[in-house]
């Protein structure tokens, strides 16, 4: 058996889907003044709706690759009295502080990741889910992402080139034997980055390529002998045995010049994500931080666990 092959797992949510043309990223916090029993009852409706929307999308528009994925944060997991012990690595994300930049920690009880080829479909799913949530939760982050050319970020470079495919995609994204109680689940980590495009554009293409570690036009990675040690590709990629599945999308408001990247990844272990963030923000070695952070500032940072579809079905009743 290939080392990147899973054993039999329970039915996962749509964490393995590829980035689509239109995306909604929504973070919600549960309302504090509602009784736990009421929250639990309302959440049953949300679990059922997520299942329904995914089934409906597959049946009605099978070629649209539309889906929605629900993640649940540490504190919400406890408040809702979901199964214990918790997923082994589910915790409140703790900020990672380097000498110059910080991977901030922000609140988040629930996260919805919605993808579709048509904006109308993505919008309708987001609206239905928001209508379900509005009586017992508050939306604290809403980002609408879009595909930019050939999967590039607003910085102009292709994003996600190192993503695993095939059996390796499952292996690195979905929990298996490392936590048998939660097989079929996935760790979901998100960050909203804002880019300083004026500073970025001022340094020119050659320096931009040194920051990223790849060619801008053709997306060719520099050799290790040439690639700067503080380039993004040198620090964000931490080895063939430590990969994640990225689903980043650009977003922005040109009038306010708030352009950025919503970083989202699925992983079978959060420790892999944490190691990557430490390399980027603290540096490897310490002080050799990821140069892209001089142009991209993390405004949010939150960790969630994505239960399997079978678990959602059980909880929906």
Q: Which residues of 11-38 are buried (b: 16+ CB within 10 A; e: fewer)?
A: ebbbbbbebbbbbbbbbbbbbeeeeeee
* CA distance linking residue 217 with residue 290, whole number of Å: 21
DSSP 17: P
> Of the listed 41, 150, 159, 224, which one is catalytic?
159
Catalytic site includes residue 159: yes
Which is nearest to 233 in space by CA: 280, 294, 272?
Answer: 280
**DSSP letters spanning 196-226:** -HHHHHHTHHHHHHHHHTB-TTT-PBPPTTT
**DSSP letters spanning 161-176:** TT---HHHHHHHHS--
* CA distance linking residue 307 with residue 18, whole number of Å: 19
Q: Count of residues for the chain?
A: 317
**DSSP letters spanning 228-284:** -TTSHHHHH---TTS--EE--EEEEETTTTEEEEEEEEEES-HHHHHHHHHHHHTTT
For the CA atoms of 269, 275, 276, 281, the dihedral, rounded to the nearest 10 degrees, stands at: 140
In the three-class reduction of DSSP (H, G, I as helix; E, B as strand; rest coil), residue 62 is classed as coil
Cβ-based neighbour number of residue 102 at 10 Å: 14
Catalytic positions: 159
């Amino acid at each position: 058996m290939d080392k990147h092959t899973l054993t039999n797992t329970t039915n996962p949510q749509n964490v393995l889907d590829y980035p689509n043309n239109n995306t909604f990223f929504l973070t919600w916090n549960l309302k504090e003044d509602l009784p736990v029993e009421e929250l639990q009852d309302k959440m049953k409706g949300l679990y059922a709706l997520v299942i329904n929307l995914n089934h409906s999308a597959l049946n009605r528009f099978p070629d649209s690759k539309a889906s929605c994925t629900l993640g649940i944060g540490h504190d919400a997991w406890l408040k809702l009295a979901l199964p214990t012990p918790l997923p082994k690595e589910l915790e409140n994300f703790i900020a990672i502080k380097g000498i110059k930049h910080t991977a901030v920690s922000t609140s988040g009880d629930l996260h919805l990741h919605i993808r579709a080829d048509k904006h109308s479909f993505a919008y309708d799913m987001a609206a239905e889910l928001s209508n379900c949530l509005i009586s017992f939760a508050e939306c604290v982050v809403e980002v609408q992402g879009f595909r930019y050319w050939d999967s590039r970020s607003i910085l102009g470079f292709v994003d996600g080139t190192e993503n695993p495919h095939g059996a390796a995609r499952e292996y690195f994204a979905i929990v298996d034997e490392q936590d048998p109680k939660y097989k079929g689940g996935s760790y979901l980590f998100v960050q909203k980055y804002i880019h300083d495009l004026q500073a970025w554009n001022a340094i020119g293409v050659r320096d931009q390529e040194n920051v990223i570690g790849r060619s801008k036009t053709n997306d060719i990675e520099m050799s290790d002998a040439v690639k700067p040690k503080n380039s993004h590709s040198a620090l964000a990629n931490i080895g063939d045995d430590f990969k994640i599945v990225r689903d980043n999308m650009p977003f922005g408001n040109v009038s306010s010049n708030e352009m950025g990247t919503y970083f989202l990844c699925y992983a079978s272990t959060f420790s892999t994500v944490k190691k990557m963030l430490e390399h980027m923000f603290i540096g490897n070695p310490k002080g050799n931080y990821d140069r892209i952070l001089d142009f991209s500032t993390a405004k949010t940072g939150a960790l969630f666990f994505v239960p399997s579809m079978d678990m959602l079905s059980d909880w929906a009743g």
